[in-house]
Chains A and B, each alone.
Chain A
C-alpha cells in the first residue's frame, strides 16, 4: 500500500509571504499525486494533479507543485499568500483501482 506524509499539521505565513506545504509519499510504482484544499464546512476541491507528464504542475489560485522522484516529494508552493488561502490542504496519492491515500492534512493560517 502507498502512504502519504504531510510534515507540519499547522503552518502560519504572513500575507504576501511564500507558502510551502510539504508532502512525501511512498510508492513502489510511479504514482499519481494530488493536492486538495478544504474550506470550512465544505468538501475537498482539487488544486492540482501530477500524472507523469511535466514534473512542475500548475494548479488553480496560483499554486504549483513539483514532483521530485529522488526525494519522493510533491511539495505545494505559492509565491505570495493571500488571506483567502487560509484552509486545510491535503496531499493524496492514487494507485490502480481508484483507491486514494490521503495525508493527515496541513492547516494554513495567513496572518494579515
Chain B
C-alpha cells in the first residue's frame, strides 16, 4: 500500500495570507490527524477527523481549520498567517478497527515558512 502523502512538501507564504495543505491517507484508513511540529513546542495536536467529522480538537485558534472528504482525504487551512505559524505540519492516518488502540502512520510533512 502507498503511504500517507502530503502536498505540497514546501510552502513559503507571507503574513496575512492563507494556506491550504492536503493529506491523502493510506487506503482504507478513515481517521486523519494533523500535528504542528516546531523546535520549541514539539508535536502539538491540531485535530482529528473520522468519517468526515471532526472528532478531536487541540488547543489552536480558530484560524486553523480542517475538513475531511468522503474518500478520507483531508485538508487543513490556516488563515491570516502569522510568523509563528512557520512549522512542519504532519498528517497521520489510522485504521479504525473498532478498538481504542490505533497506530498512527505519518506522512513526510509540509514545511510552511511564513515571511
Contact = CB atoms under 8 A, between A and B. Distances in A.
B102 A43 contact: no
Contacts of A94: 100-102
Contacts of B101: 32, 51, 94
A43 B42 contact: no
| Chain B interface SS verdict (over half) | strand
Interface stretch (B14-22, B77-85, B105-113): B105-113
Given A45-B106, A49-B103, A94-B101, A100 B31 contact: no
Between B31, B35, B43, B109, the greatest number of chain A beta carbons within 10 A of the residue's beta carbon is seen for B43
B42 A103 contact: yes
Contacts of A45: 106
Contact of A32 (B42, B90, B100, B107): B100
Nearest to A45: B106
Interface residues of B, number: 27
A49 B94 CA distance: 14
Contact of A99 (B42, B48, B103, B111): B48
B104 A43 contact: no
Nearest to A42: B108
B48 A98 contact: yes
A97 interface: yes
B90 A99 contact: no
A99 B108 contact: no
B90 to A, nearest CB: 6
A99 B45 contact: yes
Given A43-B90, A104-B42, A99 B106 contact: no
A32 B90 CA distance: 21
A98 B102 contact: yes
Contacts of B104: 34, 44, 46, 98, 100
Nearest to A9: B42
Q: Which 7 residue pairs spanning A and B have beta carbons closest together?
A: A43-B106, A96-B100, A104-B42, A102-B43, A44-B106, A99-B56, A98-B102
Given A45-B106, A96-B100, A102-B43, 9 more contacts: A43-B106, A44-B104, A46-B103, A97-B100, A98-B48, A98-B50, A98-B55, A98-B104, A105-B42
